[in-house]
Amino acid sequence: MALTDTAIRKAKARAKSYKLTDGAGLYLEVMPNGARYWRMRYRYAGKDTRLAFGVYPEVTLAEARHRRDKARAAIRDGRDPSADRKAERRRAKLSAAITFEGIAREWLASQRKKLTTATYDKATRMLEANVFPWLGTRPIADIDAPELLAVLKRIEARGAHETAHRVKARIGQVFRYAIAHGTATRDPSADLRGALAPVVSRSHAAVTDPAQVGDLLRALDSYSGQFATRCALRLAPLVFARPGELRHAEWSEFDLDAAEWRIPAHKMKMREAHVVPLSQQAVTILRELEPLTGRGRYLFPSLRSPQEPMSENTVNAALRRLGFDKDTMTGHGFRAMASTRLNEMGWAPDVIERQLAHAERNKVRAAYNRAQYMAERVKMMAAWADYLDNLRVGAKVIPIKRKST
Q: Which residues are the active-site residues?
A: 242, 269, 332, 335, 358, 368
Spatial contact of 254 and 263, defined as CB atoms under 8 Å apart? no
Which is it for the CA torsion 155, 101, 88, 28, positive or negative? Answer: negative
C-alpha distances in Å from residue 269, one per residue of 129, 247, 297: 23, 14, 21
In the chain, the N- to C-terminal Cα span, in Å, equals 99
What is the rounded distance in angstroms from the CA atom of residue 261 to the CA atom of residue 381? Answer: 12
**Which residues neighbour 118 within 8 Å (Cβ) at sequence distance 6 or greater?**
242, 243, 244, 245, 247, 248, 267, 312
Spatial contact of 275 and 266, defined as CB atoms under 8 Å apart? no
What is the rounded distance in angstroms from the CA atom of residue 371 to the CA atom of residue 349? Answer: 13
